[in-house]
Amino acid sequence: RFSRCDALIYTMVLNDCVSAPDKPRLTSCRSPEKETFTCWWEPGDDGGLPTTYALYYRLENSETVYECPDYRTAGENSCFFNKNDTSLWINYNITVVATNALGKNISDPVEVDVAYIVQPNTPENVTAVVVDDQGPFVRVSWEKPRTADTRSGWITLLYQLRVKQEKDKEWEEYDAGMQKYYNVFSLHPDKEFMVQVRCKPDHGFWSEWTQPTYVKMPDYIPRERSLWIIITIFSIFIILILTWTLNVKRNSVKLCLLPPVPGPKIKGFDKQLLKSGKSEEVFSSLVIQGFPPTIGYDDLLVEYLEVYDNEEQELVLDSKDLSEVCMKSKSLSDCDSGRGSCDSRTLLLEKCMEGREGSGSDQHQYSQHGETSCTSTESSECQGLEPGSPESSDGRVKTWPVVFSSPQPHHHYQVEAVKPVYHSVPEILNRSSPHAMPTNYHQLHHQDIPQQEGRFSKPACRHSQSYNQFNLDGLDTPAPGVSPSRSLEYVEVQRVNPENMLLLRPLSDPNREPEGSDYAGEDYSKVKEVTSNNILLLQRDTYHQCVDDYSQDLDSQAGQCTTQQPPHPCKPVIYQSNSGMPQEGMRVMGNGYVDSTVLMPSY
Amino acid sequence: MTQGSRLYFALTVLMCAFVSINGVGLNDLLERASQLSDKLHSLSTSLTNDLDSHFPPVGRVMMPRPSMCHTSSLQIPNDKDQALKIPEDELLSLARSLLLAWSDPLALLSSEASSLAHPERNTINSKTKELQDNINSLGAGLEHVFHKMGSSSDNLSSLPFYTNSLGQDKTSRLVNFHFLLSCFRRDSHKIDSFLKVLRCRAAKKRPEMC
């Protein structure tokens, strides 16, 4: 091959470098219907001279070279093989030769089997129609390319379409198989879409896409309506189910919404009788014979107050009897006796403290032992009944003053006809001089209680044990006649004489039995004073040091005590101090219990 | 079992047998056969592409000419006009002859595929096995079609395949493998075309298919 300017031949016309043409190149051969095919080539540089191109082909099993029959039909630089010249399943060896005045050039040969180069024309007559049948959709239909003979089965075409909105970037493609229509669903309402279709033989190349076909989706409200219909039906269904469920569970629903109001359950109260309207009969059953006792208050004596105790030295009241009596009395203060000391003392106090919050600013004090409250002087109504005592029925009760001291068991007294109980008997303030022994003994006799009724309020303790609250408001002012500076002395209950008198004796009594030595931390209550209102003012004291600090403020005392007995809560002290004054009257036990036997009648 | 129930049972069995043999219509049989042949050709095309991916250029030079395929002696129509003139049973026998001619060579290919000097050997091996299965199914199906058509004579051409080894060295084995496969690819295209023509001829009731 000559390079352009190496050649020494110059044309006279062009006066330029010329050469033989470049090698042409066969670009592709295609058969649209498996009956004809076309080959295209790319001419190389023509070398400056007019160049002609010729295509030659050879069939595989012969050496005969044929030239292209038709250079025109398919356009420039092409060769069209018509039906007669086209054979399937035979390799064509095709070359293109470029020739000009200076030479010729032959392209690289290409082996072509017509069966493998099938690429159909595009489908025709693409139409897209909106169908409003079941929700609007678009039915796209088309026709096969004109030249393809699918009818005889010679060629099998598979179709594909794609849809998008004008502004979208991505097409949605759908395969339609061999059918010539397709229903496109889920197109957005009130938008315009473009549709294109193409096809491919079973083994071959895809055709070109058709020109886009435009279709506009209508605005479909009916679709929303059907949605509402579905929603309505669904909710009706739900409501039906709920109604049925409610109907089935009618009773329990009624129970839930309208809980039954408890009817009156008064012992001896006959509802039917009430309904019948005879009030006399109704109420007659409620009337206790002989109640309220019309005897003088002096005669209202509390019977034996049974105090039960166990190894843990708990003081328990016979709550039942007591409560009955209290209920029956119904006068003055409410008093619920209680088995308060079933639990531990501190526990009782805590319980009391819970209820205390509700009591507001009232200053209440809870005794840690139920019986204390009941046995206080004013609680005449609290009539502890000896279990099984025959005297309870006649209303005559005797007081049983129960004075408590530390939990240490003091068997200093004996209760006749009652079980031996442990009583911690607080020291009772001895007003008189120590030598005046007889006067030391307080016969805790039931006294006029009504005066003190104002002091009592219903205990807020909710538990079965009953406590009396002692409103120590009255204790703010020391009872006249009682001076805090009075010397104090400890007393203790020695025994109870048959007349139900608590015999006391001072602790300093040499006759007294030796106590348990380990009073460490356990206090004997020190009776500070007894007010004129029959209030026994007790004072907590520590054995070791606080002995002499009678008149000290309880807070400081508490502080002192705390230092000595850390485990002992000065809590009661604090709690007492809230009320302000009751330091004097209050006695806080070493373990934190408040012993409010302040209401003992003084003699 | 009573006599009546025995008779009834025998009748049922007979009917079932009858239906099983003749139950499927010709259209459906041809449809199924067309699907199988389509798959056959697709498999062979993909196998050829796999082989071409790593084919030594020298192999192309060494490649035998297509006219050297062992089935080239069979006279087949080369264009549509010729093909549409051929009666159905002849078309069918052509297809069956071609199919039959390839059962042995495919067995050879299958055995050689595992030791081919080609990086895609495993894929080629599995596809060749699949090819073999398909050919067997199609052969059986075309048997049914033949019986269904009820042609008188069974004029299958014999196209023997005498080669029992692809070559001695790696390259020649690879080249021969490729060559055989190309012959098969072409023949499978023929079979597919013939069967699809047959399909459309028989599907007079379903013009939408054709």
**Residue A213, domain extent:** 124-225
Rounded to whole angstroms, what are the CA distances from A257 to A105, A175, A244, A482?
105, 62, 18, 61
Q: Which residue among A93, A113, A133 closes a domain?
A: A113
Residues 74-133 of chain B with CB under 8 A from chain A are 76, 78-81, 83-84
Of A238 and A272, the structure prediction assigns the larger pLDDT to: A238
Q: Does A294 touch chain B (CB under 8 A)?
A: no
Rounded to whole angstroms, what are the CA distances from B134 to A316, B128, B139, B160?
100, 10, 8, 20
CB contact under 8 A, A203 and B41: yes
Q: What share of chain B is helix, strand, coil (3-state, %, to 5)?
A: 75, 0, 25
A457 vs A470: CA distance, rounded Å: 7
Q: Indicate the residue type of A382.
A: C
| Range scoring the smallest mean pLDDT among A63-67, A121-125, A148-152, A448-452 | A448-452
What pLDDT score was predicted for residue B207? 67
Rounded to whole angstroms, what are the CA distances from A432 to A80, A597, B94?
148, 19, 145
B159 vs B93: CA distance, rounded Å: 13
Considering only the C-alpha atoms of chain A, give the largest distance between any 2 of them, rounded to a whole number of Å. 169
| Range scoring the smallest mean pLDDT among A275-284, A390-399, A487-496, A502-511 | A390-399
What pLDDT score was predicted for residue A71? 93
> Which residues from B are below 8 Å from A203, CB to CB?
38, 41-42, 45, 189, 192
| Structural domains of chain A, count | 2
Q: Which residues of chain B register pLDDT less than 50?
A: none
**pLDDT single digits (tens) A12-53:** 555 567 888 888 999 999 999 999 999 999 988 888 888 889
Is A596 in contact with A586 (CB distance < 8 Å)?
yes
> Which residues from B are below 8 Å from A34, CB to CB?
80
Confidence of residue A596 (pLDDT cuts 50, 70, 90): low
ipTM reported for the complex surpasses 0.90: no
Tell me which of A84, A154, A181 to substitute to probe the interface with B (most B C-beta atoms closer than 10 Å): A154
Q: Indicate the residue type of A131.
A: V
Confidence of residue A282 (pLDDT cuts 50, 70, 90): low
Average of per-residue pLDDT across A512-529: 51
The answer, yes or no, to whether residue A254 has pLDDT greater than 60, is yes
What pLDDT score was predicted for residue A523? 54
Nearest Cα residue in chain A from B186: A89
Structure tokens at A520: 């460490």
To the nearest whole Å, the CA of B106 is away from the closest chain A CA by 20
A494 vs A440: CA distance, rounded Å: 11
Three-state helix/strand/coil letters over A158-180: EEEEEEEECCCCCCEEEEEECCC
List, in order, residues 6 or more apart from B190 with CB less than 8 Å away. A89, B76, B94, B95, B98
Strand partners, A158: A200
What pLDDT score was predicted for residue A45? 84
Confidence of residue A79 (pLDDT cuts 50, 70, 90): very high
Whether residue A30 is contained in a domain is answered as yes
| Range scoring the smallest mean pLDDT among A97-111, A515-529, B78-92 | A515-529
A539 vs B197: CA distance, rounded Å: 123
Whether residue A92 is contained in a domain is answered as yes
Whether residue A269 is contained in a domain is answered as no
Q: Does A72 touch chain B (CB under 8 A)?
A: no
Q: Does B14 touch chain A (CB under 8 A)?
A: no
Query: Domain residues of chain B, as ranges?
Result: 21-209
Confidence of residue A223 (pLDDT cuts 50, 70, 90): low
What pLDDT score was predicted for residue B7? 86
CA proximity to A375, closest of A579, A596, A567, A552: A596
Structure tokens at A492: 């203790």
Q: Of the candidates B65, B80, B208, which has its C-beta nearest A149's C-beta?
A: B80
CB contact under 8 A, B196 and A179: no
Total beta-carbon pairs less than 8 A apart between chain A and chain B: 67
Q: Does A178 touch chain B (CB under 8 A)?
A: yes
Whether residue A433 is contained in a domain is answered as no
Rounded to the nearest 10°, the torsion over CA A561, A564, A569, A572 is -10
Q: Indicate the residue type of B50.
A: D
Whether residue A486 is contained in a domain is answered as no
| Range scoring the smallest mean pLDDT among A108-117, A211-220, A481-490, B131-140 | A481-490
To the nearest whole Å, the CA of B14 is away from the closest chain A CA by 37
What is the dotted CATH code of the domain comprising B21-209? 1.20.1250.10
To the nearest whole Å, the CA of A55 is away from the closest chain B CA by 22
> Which residues from A are below 8 Å from B60, CB to CB?
none
Q: Does B54 touch chain A (CB under 8 A)?
A: no
> Which residues from B are below 8 Å from A116, CB to CB?
189
Strand partners, A66: A57
Residues A109 and A128 in one domain: no
CB contact under 8 A, B210 and A150: yes
List, in order, residues 6 or more apart from B12 with CB less than 8 Å away. none
B205 vs A545: CA distance, rounded Å: 123
The answer, yes or no, to whether residue A364 has pLDDT greater than 80, is no
Of A248 and A405, the structure prediction assigns the larger pLDDT to: A248
Task: Please compute Rg for chain B using Cα positions.
Answer: 21
Residues A108 and A154 in one domain: no
What pLDDT score was predicted for residue A281? 66
Q: Does A477 touch chain B (CB under 8 A)?
A: no
What pLDDT score was predicted for residue B88? 87
The answer, yes or no, to whether residue A141 has pLDDT greater than 70, is yes
CB contact under 8 A, B189 and A203: yes
Pairing of strands A91-100, A110-113: antiparallel
To the nearest whole Å, the CA of A147 is away from the closest chain B CA by 13
Alpha-helical runs (H) found in A190-264: 222-248, 250-257
The answer, yes or no, to whether residue A450 has pLDDT greater than 50, is no
List, in order, residues 6 or more apart from A497 with CB less than 8 Å away. A503
Average of per-residue pLDDT across A539-566: 45
What pLDDT score was predicted for residue A93? 93
Confidence of residue A258 (pLDDT cuts 50, 70, 90): confident
Q: Of the candidates B45, B189, B196, which has its C-beta nearest A89's C-beta?
A: B189
What pLDDT score was predicted for residue A241? 95
The answer, yes or no, to whether residue A245 has pLDDT greater than 90, is yes
Confidence of residue A555 (pLDDT cuts 50, 70, 90): very low
Which H helix or E strand runs over B85? helix B80-85
Q: Which residue among A163, A195, A225 closes a domain?
A: A225
A11 vs A9: CA distance, rounded Å: 6
CB contact under 8 A, B196 and A88: no
Residues A101 and A157 in one domain: no
What pLDDT score was predicted for residue A187? 85
Q: Does A63 touch chain B (CB under 8 A)?
A: no
**pLDDT single digits (tens) A458-487:** 444 444 444 444 444 444 444 444 444 455
Average of per-residue pLDDT across A122-150: 90
CB B130: neighbour CB atoms within 10 A? Answer: 15
> Which residues from A are below 8 Å from B189, CB to CB?
89, 115-116, 203
Of all residues in chain A, the percent with pLDDT exceeding 70 is: 41
Nearest Cα residue in chain B from A151: B210
CB contact under 8 A, B79 and A178: no
Residues A40 and A102 in one domain: yes
Whether residue A362 is contained in a domain is answered as no
What pLDDT score was predicted for residue A305? 61
To the nearest whole Å, the CA of A191 is away from the closest chain B CA by 32
A489 vs B48: CA distance, rounded Å: 123
Rounded to whole angstroms, what are the CA distances from A506 to A440, A459, A514, A529?
7, 32, 13, 14
A537 vs A546: CA distance, rounded Å: 17
A109 vs A57: CA distance, rounded Å: 9
To the nearest whole Å, the CA of B94 is away from the closest chain A CA by 14
To the nearest whole Å, the CA of A178 is away from the closest chain B CA by 7
| Range scoring the smallest mean pLDDT among A97-111, A219-233, A310-324 | A310-324
What pLDDT score was predicted for residue A226? 77
CB contact under 8 A, B66 and A91: yes
Residues A106 and A132 in one domain: no
Residues A75 and A143 in one domain: no
Q: Which residue among A88, A113, A138 closes a domain?
A: A113
What pLDDT score was predicted for residue A310? 60
Confidence of residue A274 (pLDDT cuts 50, 70, 90): low
Q: Indicate the residue type of A436.
A: A
What pLDDT score was predicted for residue B18? 63
The answer, yes or no, to whether residue A262 has pLDDT greater than 70, is yes
Average of per-residue pLDDT across A354-370: 42
Q: Does A347 touch chain B (CB under 8 A)?
A: no
Is A32 in contact with A121 (CB distance < 8 Å)?
yes
What pLDDT score was predicted for residue B39? 95
Measured at the alpha carbon of residue A140, what is the angle toward residues A139 and A146, in degrees to the nearest 5? 145
Residues A147 and A202 in one domain: yes
Of A264 and A475, the structure prediction assigns the larger pLDDT to: A264
> Which residues from B are below 8 Å from A115, CB to CB?
186, 189, 193
Q: Of the candidates B76, B80, B208, which has its C-beta nearest A35's C-beta?
A: B80
> Which residues from A are below 8 Å from B72, CB to CB?
61
Nearest Cα residue in chain A from B198: A153
Q: Does B169 touch chain A (CB under 8 A)?
A: no
CB contact under 8 A, A61 and B72: yes
Residue matched to tokens 């409103």: A471
Give this prediction's pTM.
0.54
> Which residues from B are below 8 Å from A150, CB to CB?
200, 210
What does pLDDT average to over chain A?
66
Instruction: Indicate which CATH number applies to the domain containing A145.
Output: 2.60.40.10
Whether residue A166 is contained in a domain is answered as yes
What pLDDT score was predicted for residue B9? 85
Structure tokens at A436: 């005046």
Pairing of strands A65-67, A52-59: antiparallel
Q: Does B67 touch chain A (CB under 8 A)?
A: yes
What pLDDT score was predicted for residue A538? 65
Tell me which of A64, A112, A202 to substitute to probe the interface with B (most B C-beta atoms closer than 10 Å): A202
Residues A150 and A108 in one domain: no
The answer, yes or no, to whether residue A407 has pLDDT greater than 60, is no
Strand partners, B152: none
Sheet holding A25-30, edge to edge: A25-30, A37-42, A78-81
What pLDDT score was predicted for residue A176? 93
| Range scoring the smallest mean pLDDT among A80-94, A293-307, A546-560, B88-102 | A546-560
Q: Does A358 touch chain B (CB under 8 A)?
A: no
> Which residues from A are below 8 Å from B197, CB to CB?
152-154
